[in-house]
């Protein structure tokens, strides 16, 4: 079974990729301590071009890892005539203060930008770049509108705090939260970090994460209690704690140019899509988004874990960022370069398609309906014709004691055969498959599962996983096309409402987005379940606190597929492109 393993690297895993040729930068003597408004000083390495004369435009990278490990980025951008400032965020490495992920990044980013913009060697134009955590800090600073910030380039930046991390669809992103916390707390050298990254990819975490209550798992995995993990696990979504972590809605009013980049195998790709949606709602300013067949990093390779994605997938992403900075930081330009606002790579047909909005012009949203009868040992059907029956539904039982495994957890550790053996014989999942396609189908854009469903429990989870099957019946991964929704958050991710057991409700599950050509003879396969363990914490079905409680009950689930309650996928079909 040849499928790409999804390597969940961090920005740091690509260290050194930016370095090419001899250094042409001059590092200031020792770190500069940049003052914050509360007196805390953040350690910052400054890299200066050797050839050019001041003043210079400035590029800022803020990182929770180690500023010294990012020296190659200093070399790269100084060769293009920039001062590069690489800063340890508050409480990390050489910087002062207490470490609380995400909490202080807005204020600290503002203060760092304004300090850089007012130095004698600065032109007053500051841009920011960086991936993953170093991408989210750019949004946090930008929405505060520091006067000297001209542009940002957030790549592979997840959506915060309820759409990606630390929660998604109301459920705690347990796999990310615990593994990332372990890396942050315990990796003190680059070698240790790489080892922990490999362990996070290759190891089956089901047993390590199986203990209850969830809030105490930091002791088991990390080795000690971690206050911020416990905040993520236990704080109410209405708690004011989340306010400094929330930036998406504030992007509506952002007025600077933004370049977004992500990949179809990047767990933060939903963040780029949602950021684009919000950025393009507000003032008329340039926003560009590049989405390719890549993982979680800044390397636009044509190879994804040994799978050739086609020569056109090769992109010099670092060069894209640099040209963006050259335009906005070195010229007096007021308008965007003559480039498409959106570029997406369609896997399978291996081509780029572009436009000025997303989904692209020419996209039709087409429902693919659940039909037939699904259950243990039986697969239902996916079809374009709405169901005619007036009383159709399928049932399964969800037991939190033996939670349904995660497709993508199995994918990244190369264990899909084991996963499929479990899923195909389980009583806790419904499987629906389309007929082989009689002509190619381009799916390009966001995907939703719209379910009509009921539960015997006062709260439960609904998950949806979509992938392809080739003509031989082997799995074809379409990207990270998965979604989860905690039922109590069906109407709002911040205002929970428990279920009336047995009542049918509509649920909309966001399956992310992708761009892929489904070939003639291939099929689509949809799995509906109530867990994706260990990537997401389990719903205990009691209506209580899923992260603090230890008792659970089984839930009897129904998914309806009748003419009045037509559960379906909503697929973005790109026509004639």
Residue the block writes with tokens 């770049």: 129
Dist. CA 428–CA 399, nearest whole Å: 8
pLDDT at 67: 97
Task: Extract the tokens encoding 245.
Answer: 């972590």
Dist. CA 70–CA 54, nearest whole Å: 23
Q: Where are the domains of the chain?
A: 11-170+237-355, 363-574
Which segments within 269-401 are labelled E, that is strand? Answer: 287-292, 303-304, 307-308, 342-346, 351-355, 363-371, 380-383, 393-398
pLDDT band at 262 (very low <50, low <70, confident <90, very high): very high
Q: Which helix (H) or strand (E) holds 523?
A: strand 523-529
pLDDT at 12: 42
Q: In 374-461, which ranges are continuous DSSP H helix?
A: 407-412, 416-425
pLDDT at residue 316 tops 70: yes
- pLDDT digit string (tens) for 448-460? 999 999 999 999 9
11-170+237-355 homologous superfamily: Alpha/Beta hydrolase fold, catalytic domain (3.40.50.1820)
Question: Is-contact 13 197, C-beta < 8 A?
Answer: yes
Dist. CA 574–CA 577, nearest whole Å: 7
Residue the block writes with tokens 């690509």: 14
Q: In 79-173, which ranges are continuous DSSP H helix?
A: 105-117, 133-142
End-to-end CA distance of the chain: 30
- pLDDT digit string (tens) for 175-198? 999 999 999 999 999 899 899 989
pLDDT at residue 334 tops 90: no
pLDDT at residue 442 tops 70: yes
**Which CATH number is 363-574's, of 3.40.50.300, 2.60.120.260, 3.30.420.40, 2.130.10.10?**
2.60.120.260
Q: Which helix (H) or strand (E) holds 62?
A: strand 56-63
Q: Is the peptide bond before 213 cis (omega within 30 degrees of 0)?
A: yes
- Helix, strand, coil percentages, rounded to 5, for the chain: 25, 30, 45
- pLDDT digit string (tens) for 377-426? 899 999 999 999 888 999 999 999 999 999 999 998 999 999 999 999 88
pLDDT at 19: 41
**C-alpha torsion 243→244→247→251, nearest 10:** 100
Q: How crowded is residue 68: how many other Cβ atoms within 10 Å of its Cβ?
A: 15
Q: How crowded is residue 54: how many other Cβ atoms within 10 Å of its Cβ?
A: 12
Own/partner pairs, 13-17, CB within 8 angstroms, 24+ separation: 13/194, 13/197, 13/296, 13/297, 14/131, 14/297, 14/298, 14/299, 15/69, 15/70, 15/72, 15/190, 16/72, 17/72, 17/297, 17/298, 17/299, 17/318
Question: Is-contact 405 419, C-beta < 8 A?
Answer: yes
pLDDT at 11: 38
Q: What share of the chain has pLDDT > 70, as a percent?
A: 94
pLDDT at residue 9 tops 70: no
CA-CA-CA-CA torsion sign (570, 473, 484, 274): negative
pLDDT at residue 16 tops 60: no
Report the chain's mean pLDDT, rounded to a whole number: 93
Among candidate residues 408, 447, 424, 376, the one with its CA nearest the CA of residue 533: 408
pLDDT at residue 325 tops 90: yes
16 or 545, which is more confident: 545
Dist. CA 275–CA 344, nearest whole Å: 16
Q: What angle do CA 488, 490, 493 make, to 5 degrees?
A: 80
Dist. CA 192–CA 240, nearest whole Å: 35
| Interval 283-306 mean pLDDT | 90
pLDDT at 338: 65
| Interval 511-525 mean pLDDT | 98
SS3 call for 20:
coil
Least reliable range by pLDDT among 5-19, 32-46, 420-434, 496-510: 5-19
pLDDT at 390: 87
Query: What is the tally of helices (H) and strands (E) in the chain?
Result: 11, 27
Among candidate residues 218, 142, 243, 165, the one with its CA nearest the CA of residue 8: 165
Dist. CA 262–CA 388, nearest whole Å: 41
pLDDT at 332: 86
pLDDT at 25: 61
| Interval 75-104 mean pLDDT | 97
pLDDT at 469: 98
pLDDT at 3: 53
Q: How crowded is residue 29: how many other Cβ atoms within 10 Å of its Cβ?
A: 7
pLDDT band at 470 (very low <50, low <70, confident <90, very high): very high
Among candidate residues 67, 251, 77, the one with its CA nearest the CA of residue 163: 251
Residue 305 falls in which region: left (phi positive, over 0), alpha (psi -120 to 50) or beta: left
pLDDT at residue 554 tops 50: yes
pLDDT at residue 24 tops 70: no
pLDDT band at 305 (very low <50, low <70, confident <90, very high): confident
pLDDT at 201: 87
- pLDDT digit string (tens) for 205-214? 999 999 999 9
| Chain CA centroid to CA 190, Å | 24
Task: Extract the tokens encoding 513.
Answer: 């987005």
pLDDT at 572: 98
């Amino acid at each position: 079974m040849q499928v790409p393993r999804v390597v969940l690297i961090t920005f740091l895993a690509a260290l050194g990729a930016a370095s090419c040729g001899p250094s042409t930068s001059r590092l200031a003597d020792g770190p500069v301590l940049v003052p914050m408004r509360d007196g805390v000083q953040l350690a910052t390495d400054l890299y200066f071009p050797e050839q050019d004369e001041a003043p210079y435009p400035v590029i800022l990278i803020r990182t929770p890892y180690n500023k010294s490990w990012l020296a190659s980025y200093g070399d790269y951008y100084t060769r293009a005539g920039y001062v590069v400032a690489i800063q340890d965020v508050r409480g990390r490495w050489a910087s002062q203060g207490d470490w609380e992920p995400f909490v202080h990044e807005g204020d600290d980013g503002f203060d760092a930008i304004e300090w850089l913009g007012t130095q004698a060697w600065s032109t007053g134009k500051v841009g920011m770049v960086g991936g993953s955590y170093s991408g989210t800090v750019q949004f946090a600073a930008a929405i505060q509108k520091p006067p000297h910030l001209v542009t940002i380039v957030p790549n592979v930046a997840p959506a915060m705090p309820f759409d990606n991390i630390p929660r998604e669809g109301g459920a705690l992103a347990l796999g990310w939260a615990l593994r990332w916390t372990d890396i942050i707390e315990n990796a003190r050298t680059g070698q240790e970090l790489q080892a922990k990254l490999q362990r996070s990819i290759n190891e089956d975490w089901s047993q390590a994460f199986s203990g209850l209550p969830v809030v105490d798992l930091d002791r088991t995995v990390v080795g000690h209690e971690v206050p911020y993990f416990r905040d993520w696990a236990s704080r109410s979504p209405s708690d004011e704690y989340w306010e400094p972590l929330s930036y998406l809605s504030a992007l509506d009013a952002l007025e600077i140019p933004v370049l977004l980049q992500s990949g179809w195998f990047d767990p933060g790709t939903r963040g780029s899509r949602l950021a684009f949606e919000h950025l393009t709602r507000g003032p008329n300013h340039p926003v560009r988004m590049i989405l390719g067949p890549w993982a979680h990093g800044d390397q636009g390779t044509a190879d994804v874990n040994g799978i050739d994605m086609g020569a056109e997938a090769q992109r010099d992403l670092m060069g894209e960022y640099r040209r963006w900075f050259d335009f906005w930081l070195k010229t007096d330009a007021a308008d965007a370069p003559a480039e498409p606002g959106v570029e997406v790579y369609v896997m399978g047909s291996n081509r780029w398609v572009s436009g000025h909005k997303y989904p692209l012009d020419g996209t039709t949203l087409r429902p693919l309906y659940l039909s037939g009868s699904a259950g243990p040992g039986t697969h239902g059907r996916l079809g374009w014709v709405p169901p005619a029956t007036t009383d159709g539904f399928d049932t399964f039982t969800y037991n939190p004691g033996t939670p349904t495994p995660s497709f993508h957890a199995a994918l990244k550790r190369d264990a899909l055969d084991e996963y499929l053996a479990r899923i195909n014989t389980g009583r806790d999942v419904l499987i629906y498959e389309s007929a082989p396609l009689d002509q190619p189908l381009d799916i390009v854009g966001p995907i939703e599962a719209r379910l009509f469903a009921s539960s015997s429990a006062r709260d439960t989870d609904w998950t949806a996983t979509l992938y392809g099957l080739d003509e031989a019946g082997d799995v074809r991964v379409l990207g990270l096309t998965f979604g989860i929704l905690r039922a109590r958050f069906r109407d709002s991710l911040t205002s929970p409402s428990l279920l009336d057991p047995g009542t049918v409700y509509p649920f909309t599950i966001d399956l992310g987005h992708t761009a892929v050509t489904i070939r003639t003879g291939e099929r689509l396969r949809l799995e509906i379940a109530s867990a994706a363990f260990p990537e997401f914490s389990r719903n205990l079905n009691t209506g209580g606190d899923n992260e603090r409680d230890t008792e659970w009950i089984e839930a009897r689930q129904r998914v309806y597929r009748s003419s009045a309650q037509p559960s379906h996928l909503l697929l973005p079909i790109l026509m004639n492109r």
